[in-house]
Amino acid sequence: MKLFKENESDATDNSVKNTDYTIKTEGLNKTYTVGNEKLNVLKNVNFEVKKGEFVAILGPSGSGKSTLMNIIGCMDVADSGKYYLDGIPIHEQKEKSLNSIRNTKIGFIFQNYHLVPTYTIVQNVIMPLLMRGISYNDAVKMSMDTINMLGLSDRIKHKPHELSGGQKQRVAIARALVGDPSLLLADEPTGALDRESGKEVLKLFNKLNEMGNTIVMITHDHHVAEHAQRIVNIIDGNLTVN
| Position among 13, 136, 211, 221 found at the interface with another protein (CB under 8 A) | 136
How many binding residues for another protein (CB under 8 A)? 31
With binding defined as CB under 8 A, does residue 149 bind another protein? no
In whole angstroms, give the CA distance from residue 125 to residue 175: 4
Q: Which of 130, 142, 192, 235 binds another protein (CB under 8 A)?
A: 130
Based on the shown chain and the rule CB under 8 A, indicate whether residue 3 belongs to the binding site for another protein. no
- Check the CA dihedral 100-189-223-77 and report its sign: positive
Q: Give min distance, CB of 7 to another protein, in A.
A: 27
Q: Tell whether the torsion through CA atoms of 50, 114, 190 and 237 is positive or negative.
A: positive
User: Exposed, middle or buried by CB within 10 Å (0-12, 13-18, 19+), for 29?
Assistant: middle
Q: Does 59 bind another protein (CB under 8 A)?
A: no
Quick one: which of 116, 157, 162, 164 contacts another protein (CB under 8 A)?
A: 116
% helix, strand, coil for the chain, step of 5? 35, 25, 35
Which amino acid is it at 238? N
131 binds another protein (CB under 8 A): yes
Cα 164 to Cα 94, 114, 159, 161, 230: the distances in Å are 38, 14, 11, 8, 30
168 binds another protein, rule: CB under 8 A: no
Our CA dihedral for 197, 193, 72, 87, rounded to 10 degrees, sits at 10
Does residue 123 belong to the site contacting another protein (CB under 8 A)?
Answer: yes
**Residue 175 found at the interface with another protein (CB under 8 A):** yes
- Read off the amino acid at residue 164: S
212 lines the binding site for another protein (CB under 8 A): no
Q: Based on CB atoms, which residue is closest to another protein, 50 or 114? A: 114
For 2, list phi and psi in degrees, rounded to 5. -95, 110
Could you tell me which stretch among 13-21, 42-50, 54-62, 100-108 binds another protein (CB under 8 A)?
Answer: 100-108
| Closest distance of CB 10 from another protein, Å | 30
- List b or e across 108-137, with b for residues whose CB sees 16 or more CB atoms inside 10 angstroms: bbbbebebeeeebbbbbbbbbbeeeebeee
Q: Which stretch binds another protein (CB under 8 A): 13-21, 34-42, 132-140, 215-223?
A: 132-140
The verdict on 135 binding another protein (CB under 8 A) reads yes
Q: Single out the residue of 33, 61, 94, 133 in contact with another protein (rule: CB under 8 A).
A: 133
In the three-class reduction of DSSP (H, G, I as helix; E, B as strand; rest coil), residue 39 is classed as strand
Residue 4 or 32 with smaller CB distance to another protein = 32
* Residue ranges in contact with another protein by CB under 8 A: 66, 70, 73, 75-76, 96, 99-100, 102-104, 108, 110, 112, 114-119, 123, 127-128, 130-133, 135-136, 175, 179
